[in-house]
Each structure stands twice: as structure tokens, then as C-alpha cells.
Structure 1
Amino acid sequence: MAGIGTLSVIGLGYIGLPTAAMFASAGVDVIGVDVNLRVVEAVNGGRAHIEEGNLDELVERCVRAGKLRATSEPEPAEVFIIAVPTPVDNGDSPSPDLSYVRAAAISLAPSLKRGDLIILESTSPVGTTEMVAGILREARPDLTFPDQAGEDADICLAYCPERIIPGQMLKELVENDRVVGGMSPRCAERAAAVYKTFVRGVCHISTDRTAEMVKLTENAFRDVNIAFANELSMICRDLGVDVWKVIEFANRHPRVSILNPGAGVGGHCIAVDPWFIVASAPDRSRLIHAARKVNDAKPLFVIEEIERAIAENPGERVACLGLTYKADVDDFRESPALEIASVLSRKYGETIVCVDPYAEALGERECANRGLRFIDLDAAMRDCGILVMLVPHQAFRAHPKPESAVIVDPVGFWH
């Protein structure tokens, strides 16, 4: 594709692989880079290693056309997109782990040449793009960067966060607006031009620090609103009030829109990103911090409800329905449902069974480590006296609400 040259995506995970495939499908020559050799082998074989709509078909088509290939080491390119994980460490107030971003920057440094553009997509604390520039400046003193030379820098750097959801990635990559923040105006304009290769949404130009904060703000906003719903559900239970009716009627107010409560908050974004704000401004982020605590506490509340049902119905088997972090995806990252099922399985053994149409994606080793036992939905409905709806997969809607079983339903599936 004229004007871009070769584009390299560092990290071929849930964000990197769909992004690489979309650029390749638009005619760009794309090199995907991943340290996991199984991922590299899968992509070069024309296969997507994650379940995501038509991604497998798209990868196969791009590889067959010679527009997409994968390798384990960065190679020279004109544009580099960093799409590696940014998890948080464990602790009372988790802090971001930027080791993957640092490693990606160090790995691509030898391949840089004057005129290249680097775009960071990984969700990151404010200042991470500047950190990447510092790493590269130290590794490549023969080149200049925007924090040194501004618009005249040899290398351009920008930040453009992803804002897509599993199950809709390919559609939202094209249709959603993007916030493109550059370390200089020229950096932002160049990065926006790259995304306009296939993005039909508006590319909003900003600074790198603003774009970094926008991404964190989006997910912190959602986390706070989910926390309100989850806290409300616990209060209503204690007061003997139907939370679903409360929300239904409250939402008839023209300026009220309460979300539905659930078993907690999971996934690679909402359960993680607010901690980046807390880590950056611990004295100011009291509401955001409190919301994280509420949502992290919800799985324990659900476990207590299940254990109450077990105590009141001795000898009954318990089926945990749905273990992914959200409905109709094969993603188990930070899943509260998975944690709930794991805690119960370790404590109650064979009394606990699980059902999930995406169980294969979890892997046999992970299932064994967590003590999880999977059965099919028909067997669960037939043989289990306690049914716990944790994730409302579409596949579960084929069965009507069982009349005889005891129901624990923190997501309101059978409400």
C-alpha cells in the first residue's frame, strides 16, 4: 500500500492479530511478531490461534495472498505497532506491569531507521509513550526522537488505544472512532494516516498523554457504573428486595440508566485499566479505587450465596454455567466466573461441575490445575439440583428455566 510500506505488529494476541489481519486485508504488507512460536506457526499456517468471528478465514486469506506472515523477531519495517499485554501485579492496590512494552521496544530498536513510525496500542499509564521514546533513545543514539527534536525527529511516535470488544473485533476495528495521540503534531498525523487505510470511523488527533488517559478513562467510567449496580445488588439482597425490579423501575426515570449487576468484572480492560489511574494518582482516585474494590469483592458475595444454597440442599450437585469473562467469547482472562468455579471446585470436589461452550480454549492443564470438571448442558440440567448462572452464553437459552432446581442467578438470566 503506497505511503505505508511494510507494517510490523509486535504481539499477535487478542488485539494484535486482528489488527495485523485488517491491515493485510487492506493491501498492506504486514509482518506479525510474537515470542510464542506456536502463535507464529499458526499464523504462517493460515490459522488464527484465538476464536473471533471470521478472523480465521481472514488470516488464511491474507497469508495465502502473501500479505501477512509471522516471525519471532522484529524485522525492518516502516511502521511498527506495539500491541503487547500490560497486566497488573498482585496486591491491595495493583500497579501496571510494563515489562512487555519495554521488551517490545528493546526488541525493535535494532530494526529502526530514519523515517520510521512507532505506534503504541497497549493500554498504558499516562507517560508510557514517552517511556518508549526514552528506551529507544538510549538504544539508538544515532537517531533522534520527538522529545529531542520535535517535528524534525528521525523517528515518529504515537499512541492509539484499541477500543474493541471480543466477538465484534473485526467490525469495530473498521467502524469505531480512534483517538490518535502523537508526541508531536506530525507524529499524530502520520499515525492517523496509517489507520485510515481501513478505519471508517473518525481518527481524532490529540497528544500521546491525552490519548493514554482517554483509554483509561473509558474503562474506569464503565467500572464505576458496574460497581454501582453490583453494590446495589448486594444491598437489595440484604434488604430482601428484588434488585432486577428496582433497576427496571428506576431506569424508567428519564435521566437514570443503571447497568445490570453480575458476578464481578473480568477481561483484559475493565478489571485492569482503572488500576493504572489509581497507581498514577492514588490520593485523587478515591472513587475509582472504591469501585475496583466493590467489583473485586462481588465474586466472594456470589460464592457465599452458592454456599448457602449448598448448605440448605445437602447432597445436591452444583452446576456452574459459564466461566468466560463475558458471554459468547472464548476469553477467560480475569474472569470472576472462572475464579468462583475454581474456589468451589477446590473446596467441594466432585459436587461441583461446570458447563461452558468454550471450555476447550481454557486447556486441559488449566482445568486440572483448578480442579474443574466439565459436563454438557443437558447433563447439568438433568442431574444437578443447584444451577448457578455465572455467564449468560447464548447457547444456554435453548433450555427453559428448570422448575425443580435451586437457582443462583447473579446475572439475571432467569429473572
Structure 2
Amino acid sequence: MSVSFKTISIIGLGYIGLPTAAVFASRKVKVVGVDINQHAVDTINQGKIHIVEPDLDKLVHAAVTEGYLRATTKPETADAYLIAVPTPFKTSVNDLHEPDLSYIEAASKSIAPVLKKGDLVVLESTSPVGATEKMSEWLAQARPDLTFPQTHGEDSDIRIAHCPERVLPGKVLVELIQNDRIIGGITPKCSEVAADIYKIFLQGKCVLTNARTAEMCKLTENSFRDVNIAFANELSIICDSLGIDVWELIRLANRHPRVNILQPGPGVGGHCIAVDPWFIVSAAPEKTKLIRAAREINDAKPEWVIEKVKLAIADYLMGHPEKTVRDVRIACLGLAFKPDIDDLRESPSAAIALKIASQHSGTTIAVEPNIQMLPEKWNTRLELKSLHEALAHADILVLLVDHKEFKSMPAELLSGKHYVDTKGVLTVQI
């Protein structure tokens, strides 16, 4: 471990920042976590966590108890600062989703007053190409008494780099340690210094490049997955129109030694795959026909699912002429953007459930075993219930996420139910 990193500050204590802080602290390095969310700060300082991630609670509790991790709302002096804040969209204009760098800008300006010569600043937030350079410019404007790599190269007082996370929710602690990291400095020395900090805990390799290539690498990885998911989603729509079981079709096609079709679903969600391709499209709108088409296919899938739900309602009422639409009870199984996590960010499943609740005059139930309550900001007619309650009372099941609880549902409780299955779970069981 490099002796220069006695204290590390993590700016943003969400799904990436908090696990990163905990992993550093587990290596007996002093970590100061910073977040504007007072509830998150208070929770962490109690040795608890405000998100769901396997084994993270134990790691945070140990780090706080042993005095290696502390959270605060204002940055303090450290030797390295890792920025892990959101990069959402601005308001879409002409169907272009322009990235919003205001969180990165705010984080940069918040640490600027405590920077000192020799410090390292790493941008971990998934960012459009050029964001790391922009961050360095914001820091330079705030601290004209220090020198930065865009003007002083290898002789700069402050080192700047980009190192995007490459982890899977539900396996963050394992993948943080085991996965290779792409590290792109504004100068080669910046890359080397940034690599030193990750070597504190990293078992994978530190692969060095420049900042722009590192930024584009993360966007490329997620765009690759998005294009392949779009193929599966489009295939599911085609198969539905032709009366073909898409799940069986994919199983058969994947027996070819050079074919590996992904599984379709209700869309694409999360803070990466549903977002990152638009950063590339925004940067080169005339040159990104395939990437944009894939995004549009995946973004349109939730509406297709909702239309299937409307057809299921009509089919149910044909068999129950004594009932009206108001009598039909719908249960949406799953709200998270992927199985067995609590993360609702950019979730197509949540969007589908919310829209069904807003349009359906009857009862709409949501089942999400990984959360205790619905977000207050939703303020909808959607009711959060247990799986047992949903199976007992719902007339139509809409399977949106293949949580482990849904894969093990007793077959007898599913008998006679109408359903829309976006993940091939009920198709197998009923």
C-alpha cells in the first residue's frame, strides 16, 4: 500500500460509493465518506446501511466500529478524493438525452477548498467523454493557487483520473475486488498514481489508458449489452406475433456453439445500461444509428408490456361476463430493475407498474420482496403487498422481475390465473 494515501474521501455514498468506502476501510485505511443526504450519513455512522447489497452491512458495521469509516455531509482534508455521484439526464431535446454533469460539478466545487498539493482526484461516476477534463477545469477555476494536469502536465500539483466502476448489483463487493479496473489519467503519471490507490484492495489488474478512452470504455461496455438485449427484446415481440415460445426458441438457438442470445424482459433499467448509450448518442447523434435504435427498442418495450396487460384484462373479462374492469385485480410481481436487489433506478418494471396503476380503474398490487415501502414521491394508487396476498387475491399476474421468490411459487397457487410473463417464469410453471 502506498504510504501517501493515509486518508481517502469518497464523495457520494450510494450503491457504488458506500461499498467502495467500506472495501478501503476493510484494508485499515481511514475513509471519510461524504454525502448530502443526512439520513444516509446518520445511518452509516450508526454502523448500518441505507441500501441493499449482500454482506455490505457487516463490512460497514465492522469499518465504523473499528474507526476506519466515518460519514459526513461536508468534505474534509484527505490525500485522495473519489467522486461517485449520479450523472442523470437533462430534459430530453429532439429525442437526445443530454447528460447532466451538475452533480459532478457540485462535488468538484465542494472538495476544492480542502485540496492540497499532491492530492489525487478520481472521477468514478459514469460520464460522457470529456467529463474528467471538465472536472479538472472546475477544480482549477476554484483553486488558482494550485496547478492541474491540463496546464502543467506531469508537473501538476493535483493528479486527475477517471476510473469507472464495473460491478453488478448484488455482487458489488466481490466484483469491486476481483474485476480489472480501467484507469485513465489526464497524464500517464495521473494514471499511475490512481492505480496505486486501487491496488490497496484490487485483486484484478489495473489497466492504464487516458481519461477519454476510459470514459468511452465504460459507455461501450454497456452499449454492447444494450444492443444485445434489444435483439432479445425485439425477438420476443416477433415471436409473440407469430405464436412462438421465445424462451424455447432462445434455448434452442443457444445450442449453436457461436450463438449466445440474452434473455428478453420488460425493458432495460438501472443506472448504467439504460443510461450510458445515450451519452454516446448525444456526443455523435449522426453516427450512432445502431446504438440509438437499440435504445429505442428497449425504451419502447414497457409500452408493449402494458398493451399485453390490457389484452389480458379483456381476455379475463370475456371469461367472467359478470365482472367489470373495476373488479379486476392486477398484481405486478417485481419493481426493481434486476433480480434480487432493491434498486428501483431507471426500472422499466416500476414504470410499468406505476402506469398500470394510473390507468387501471381496479386494484393494482405491487410485490417487491426487497423493499419495505414504496417511495413517497410516487404518490399513486399502487399498493405494496406480500406475494402471499397477491397470489390469494389477484386475477391477473404481471411477472416483471425474476426474483428468487417468484421462481419458487407453488404451482397450485398459480392455477387458473391470467398472466403476462416478461421473464419466462410463469410460462414454465403454469
Normalising TM by the smaller chain, what interval?
A: over 0.9
Query: 2:223–2:273: 8 Å Cα contact kept in structure 1?
Result: yes
Give the equivalent residue in structure 1 for 2:409. 399
TM-score by length of 2: 0.94
What is the number of residues matched between the two proteins? 413
Q: Secondary structure at the match of 1:157?
A: strand
TM-score by length of 1: 0.97
Could you list the runs of 5+ residues in structure 1 that have no partner in the other structure? none
* Offset at residue 361 of structure 1 (A): 5.5
Query: Are 1:371 and 2:372 an aligned pair?
Result: no
* Offset at residue 250 of structure 1 (A): 1.4
Q: Secondary structure at the match of 2:125?
A: coil
Amino acid at match of 1:371: R
**1:295-310 matched pairs, under 5 angstroms:** 295-310=298-313
Query: Are 1:340 and 2:352 an aligned pair?
Result: yes
Give the equivalent residue in structure 2 for 1:209. 212
Moved more, 115-124 or 375-384: 375-384
Give the equivalent residue in structure 2 for 1:279. 282
Give the equivalent residue in structure 2 for 1:104. 107
Distance change in 2, residues 1:90/1:231 (3 Å): farther
Q: Secondary structure at the match of 2:71?
A: strand
* Offset at residue 39 of structure 1 (A): 1.1
Give the equivalent residue in structure 1 for 2:79. 78
* Offset at residue 48 of structure 1 (A): 1.0
Query: 2:4–2:79: 8 Å Cα contact kept in structure 1?
Result: no
Q: Secondary structure at the match of 1:353?
A: strand
In the alignment, the residues of structure 2 paired with residue 180 and residue 261 of structure 1 have an alpha-carbon distance, to the nearest angstrom, of 32
1:189-247 CA-partner distances (Å, limit 9, x unpaired): 11111001001001101111110000000000000000010011111111222211221
- 2:395 aligned residue (385, 405, 408): 385
Give the equivalent residue in structure 1 for 2:135. 132
Give the equivalent residue in structure 2 for 1:413. 425
Give the equivalent residue in structure 2 for 1:34. 35
Q: Secondary structure at the match of 1:412?
A: coil
In the alignment, the residues of structure 1 paired with residue 424 and residue 96 of structure 2 have an alpha-carbon distance, to the nearest angstrom, of 30
Give the equivalent residue in structure 2 for 1:169. 172
In the alignment, the residues of structure 2 paired with residue 294 and residue 330 of structure 1 have an alpha-carbon distance, to the nearest angstrom, of 25
Give the equivalent residue in structure 1 for 2:320. none
Amino acid at match of 2:420: V
Give the equivalent residue in structure 2 for 1:120. 123
In the alignment, the residues of structure 1 paired with residue 160 and residue 104 of structure 2 have an alpha-carbon distance, to the nearest angstrom, of 14
Q: Secondary structure at the match of 1:209?
A: helix
Give the equivalent residue in structure 1 for 2:370. 358
1:308-340 CA-partner distances (Å, limit 9, x unpaired): 000121243211111111110000001111111
* Offset at residue 352 of structure 1 (A): 1.6
Query: 1:23–1:197: 8 Å Cα contact kept in structure 2?
Result: yes
In the alignment, the residues of structure 1 paired with residue 338 and residue 207 of structure 2 have an alpha-carbon distance, to the nearest angstrom, of 29
Percent identity over the alignment is 54
In the alignment, the residues of structure 2 paired with residue 277 and residue 392 of structure 1 have an alpha-carbon distance, to the nearest angstrom, of 30
Query: 1:40–1:71: 8 Å Cα contact kept in structure 2?
Result: yes
Give the equivalent residue in structure 1 for 2:144. 141
* Offset at residue 385 of structure 1 (A): 2.1
* Offset at residue 297 of structure 1 (A): 0.2
Query: Are 1:7 and 2:8 an aligned pair?
Result: yes
In the alignment, the residues of structure 2 paired with residue 46 and residue 140 of structure 1 have an alpha-carbon distance, to the nearest angstrom, of 35
* Offset at residue 68 of structure 1 (A): 0.7
Moved more, 194-203 or 380-389: 380-389
Moved more, 354-363 or 78-87: 354-363
**1:50-69 matched pairs, under 5 angstroms:** 50-69=51-70
In the alignment, the residues of structure 1 paired with residue 96 and residue 308 of structure 2 have an alpha-carbon distance, to the nearest angstrom, of 26
Query: Are 1:244 and 2:254 an aligned pair?
Result: no
Q: Secondary structure at the match of 1:391?
A: coil
* Offset at residue 351 of structure 1 (A): 2.5
Query: Are 1:95 and 2:105 an aligned pair?
Result: no
Query: 1:161–1:178: 8 Å Cα contact kept in structure 2?
Result: yes
Q: Secondary structure at the match of 1:359?
A: coil
Amino acid at match of 1:169: V
In the alignment, the residues of structure 2 paired with residue 11 and residue 380 of structure 1 have an alpha-carbon distance, to the nearest angstrom, of 37
Query: 1:320–1:352: 8 Å Cα contact kept in structure 2?
Result: yes
